[in-house]
């Protein structure tokens, strides 16, 4: 713990020095963009940056609508050891003549956006324009769930993970093998490898079935650690309530688990998460709602876990991530709302609000300002009301494949979010149309207009909540 604090102190000092060299005490807002994999982080960052550079579609962002932002431009991130977020190519891919979605993110990258701002008020006008930097980081969302594992011992993690696997349809093969082996016998590399491979396969299957809690995150997205020993372990059942002997399979798995925590997971959060002062947590709530109650439950669990970590000033085990700094604002945003007609948007927002309230209560959380929104970072649809069997259906229209348009009706979300969140749910209830699974549109071709970023839904409201007070 002491070593951790010293290392943290050094990092902070370097950060501060960096800010000073770059400009005399120019303020920096560090925006954390958080979310499980495929939640929409990469698309969000790309569209947010484009819409902050060209603010024609940002009327709800007050600094933009009242002209206080005089200029905005991109800079390399001051952290020389991290690749730059490939903004230009990502934007071109999303908005060109043959648009497509980005690949999954495999590693960390960062970007700095700088603003020239005319402060308001008499004093502000006298002091002249100021510079504000916005630092943004992109990273694989799979790694986020490792926050839950950092506080656990190998025994705890194993017990929890195995219990969770019993509840899920995936992973029977792994469970059978792990139970047959036990863990007390002598460690053999081949067995460890086999278990790790089966366990990794289970994680991929569970994620495909819509589950959010899939640890360790690097098993799904290893980055530059593919094949490293720290990535070849798996949960094992407890051995008769005793601690197994040295050189046993269980003890070697425990050793690797601890190595993973201290050498892989912890340094990631420490270097990249400390110092974040605004957070957006992107949630594919529509996807989870469609997958059914088990996936919604799992998502609530994951959200409460995330909120626990942002608990300010607490003396929780994870307080080393934030040090003395605190996260001031956290926005929970349901993504991909462009798949719904606007008549359904308030319902999705209400569900998000209920989820946030629930997560706040369960995380015993107070401090940062939180809000819930439903957004689309990149709007892919137009709305259309379709008459069918004498009734009006509120639909959206978009591109299924190049040149191939389709009309889509998602179904009705429940008007009362409690219906969806109540414990006594019908486990087989599906809220959205069956085709929703396959439903995704391509971004519209040539979506850019001079002076504006890509089309979106409520990205300006999200920006106002996250940055408005600093512009």
Ligand X SMILES: Nc1nc2c(ncn2[C@@H]2O[C@H](COP(=O)(O)OP(=O)(O)O)[C@@H](O)[C@H]2O)c(=O)[nH]1
Binding site for Mg ion (CB under 5 A): 41-42, 105
Q: Between residues 35 and 293, which has the closer beta carbon with respect to Mg ion?
A: 35
Closest contact distance (angstroms) between CB of 45 and ligand X is 8
Closest contact distance (angstroms) between CB of 279 and ligand X is 14
Residue at shortest CB range from ligand X: 101
Segment 14 to 73, residues that bind ligand X, using CB under 6 A: 35, 37-43
Interface with ligand X (CB under 6 A), residue from 368, 441, 455, 464: 441
Q: Are 375 and 334 in contact (CB under 8 A)?
A: yes
Q: Which residues are CB-contacts of 124 (< 8 A; sequence separation ≥ 6)?
A: 118
The footprint of ligand X on this chain (CB under 6 A) covers a number of residues equal to: 23
Q: Which residues are CB-contacts of 82 (< 8 A; sequence separation ≥ 6)?
A: 108, 109, 110, 137
Structure tokens, 120: 């308001």
| Gyration radius (Cα) of the chain, Å | 23
Q: Between residues 111 and 239, which has the closer beta carbon with respect to ligand X?
A: 111
Interface with ligand X (CB under 6 A), residue from 372, 378, 410, 421: 378
Piece of the chain touching ligand X by CB under 6 A; list 126-134, 146-154, 336-344, 345-353:
336-344
Quote the CA–CA distance of 177 and 191 in Å, as a whole number.
10
Q: Would you list the DSSP string of 187-251?
A: P-HHHHHHHHHHHHHHHHHHHHTT-S--S-HHHH--GGGTT-GGG-------BTTBPPPTTBHHH
- Residue 405: alpha-carbon gap to chain centroid: 30
Q: Between residues 44 and 174, which has the closer beta carbon with respect to ligand X?
A: 44
Closest contact distance (angstroms) between CB of 392 and ligand X is 23
Q: Between residues 350 and 377, which has the closer beta carbon with respect to ligand X?
A: 377
Interface with ligand X (CB under 6 A), residue from 104, 313, 402, 445: 104
Q: Which residues are CB-contacts of 340 (< 8 A; sequence separation ≥ 6)?
A: 286, 348, 396, 410, 413
Quote the CA–CA distance of 84 and 75 in Å, as a whole number.
9
Q: Are 107 and 139 in contact (CB under 8 A)?
A: yes
Interface with ligand X (CB under 6 A), residue from 34, 51, 105, 215: 105
458 lies in the binding site for ligand X (CB under 6 A): no
Q: Between residues 234 and 303, which has the closer beta carbon with respect to ligand X?
A: 303
* 377: partner contacted, choices ligand X, Mg ion, none (Cβ within 5-8 A by kind): ligand X
Q: Between residues 139 and 332, which has the closer beta carbon with respect to Mg ion?
A: 139
* 441: partner contacted, choices ligand X, Mg ion, none (Cβ within 5-8 A by kind): ligand X
Quote the CA–CA distance of 410 and 287 in Å, as a whole number.
11
Q: Cite the beta strand spans of 309-412 per DSSP E.
A: 329-334, 369-374, 382-388, 391-401, 404-408
Can you tell me which residue has the tokens 């229209």? 397
Segment 163 to 192, residues that bind ligand X, using CB under 6 A: none
Q: Between residues 127 and 343, which has the closer beta carbon with respect to ligand X?
A: 343
377 lies in the binding site for ligand X (CB under 6 A): yes
Structure tokens, 395: 């639909």
Q: Between residues 36 and 181, which has the closer beta carbon with respect to Mg ion?
A: 36
Closest contact distance (angstroms) between CB of 377 and ligand X is 4
Site string for ligand X, 141-160 (x = CB under 6 A): x-------------------
Among candidate residues 90, 97, 21, 105, the one with its CA nearest the CA of residue 49: 90
339 lies in the binding site for ligand X (CB under 6 A): yes
Site string for ligand X, 107-146 (x = CB under 6 A): ----------------------------------x-----
Q: Which residues are CB-contacts of 172 (< 8 A; sequence separation ≥ 6)?
A: none
Closest contact distance (angstroms) between CB of 153 and ligand X is 30
Q: Within 10 Å of residue 193's Cβ, how many Cβ atoms?
A: 13
Residues near ligand X (CB under 6 A) are: 35, 37-43, 101-102, 104-105, 141, 335-336, 338-339, 376-378, 380, 440-441
């Amino acid at each position: 713990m002491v070593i951790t604090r010293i290392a943290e102190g050094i990092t902070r000092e370097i950060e501060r020095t960096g800010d000073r060299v770059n400009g005399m005490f120019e303020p920096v807002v560090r925006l954390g963009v958080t979310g499980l994999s495929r939640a929409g982080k990469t698309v969000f960052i790309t569209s947010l940056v484009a819409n902050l550079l060209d603010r024609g579609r940002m009327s709800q962002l007050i600094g933009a609508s009242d002209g206080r932002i005089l200029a905005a431009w991109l800079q390399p991130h001051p952290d020389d050891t991290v690749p730059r977020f490939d903004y230009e190519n990502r934007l071109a891919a999303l908005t060109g003549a043959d648009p497509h979605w980005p690949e999954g993110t495999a590693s960390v990258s960062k970007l700095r956006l700088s603003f020239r701002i005319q402060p308001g008020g008499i004093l502000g006008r006298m002091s002249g324009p100021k510079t504000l930097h916005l630092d943004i980081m992109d990273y694989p969302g799979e790694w986020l769930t490792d926050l839950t594992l950092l506080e656990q011992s190998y025994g705890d993690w194993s017990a929890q993970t195995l219990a969770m696997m019993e509840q899920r349809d995936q992973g029977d093969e792994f469970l059978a093998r792990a139970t047959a082996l036990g863990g007390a016998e002598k460690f053999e590399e081949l067995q460890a490898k086999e278990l790790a491979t089966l366990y990794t396969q289970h994680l991929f299957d569970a994620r495909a079935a819509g589950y959010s809690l899939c640890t360790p995150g690097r098993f799904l997205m290893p980055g530059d650690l593919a094949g490293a020993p720290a990535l070849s372990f798996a949960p094992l059942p407890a051995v008769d309530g005793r601690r197994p002997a040295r050189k046993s399979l269980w003890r070697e798995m425990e050793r690797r688990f601890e190595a993973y925590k201290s050498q892989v997971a912890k340094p990631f959060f420490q270097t990249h998460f400390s110092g974040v002062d605004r957070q957006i947590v992107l949630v594919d709530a529509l996807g989870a709602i469609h997958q059914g109650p088990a996936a919604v439950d799992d998502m609530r669990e994951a959200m409460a876990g995330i909120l626990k970590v942002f608990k300010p000033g607490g003396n929780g085990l994870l307080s080393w991530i934030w040090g003395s700094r605190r996260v001031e604002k956290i926005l929970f945003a349901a993504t991909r709302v462009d798949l719904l007609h606007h008549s359904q948007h308030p319902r999705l927002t209400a569900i998000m609000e209920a989820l946030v309230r629930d997560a706040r209560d369960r995380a015993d959380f107070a401090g940062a300002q939180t809000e819930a929104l439903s957004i689309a970072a990149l709007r892919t649809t137009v709305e259309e009301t379709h008459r069918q069997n004498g009734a009006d259906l509120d639909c959206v229209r978009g591109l299924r494949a190049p040149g191939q348009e389709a009309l889509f009706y998602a179904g009705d979300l429940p008007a009362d979010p409690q219906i969806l969140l109540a414990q006594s749910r019908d486990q087989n209830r599906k809220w959205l149309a069956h085709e929703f699974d396959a439903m995704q549109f391509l971004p519209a071709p040539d979506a850019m207009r001079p002076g504006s970023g890509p089309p979106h839904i409520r990205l300006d409201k999200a920006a106002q909540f996250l940055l408005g007070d600093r512009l």
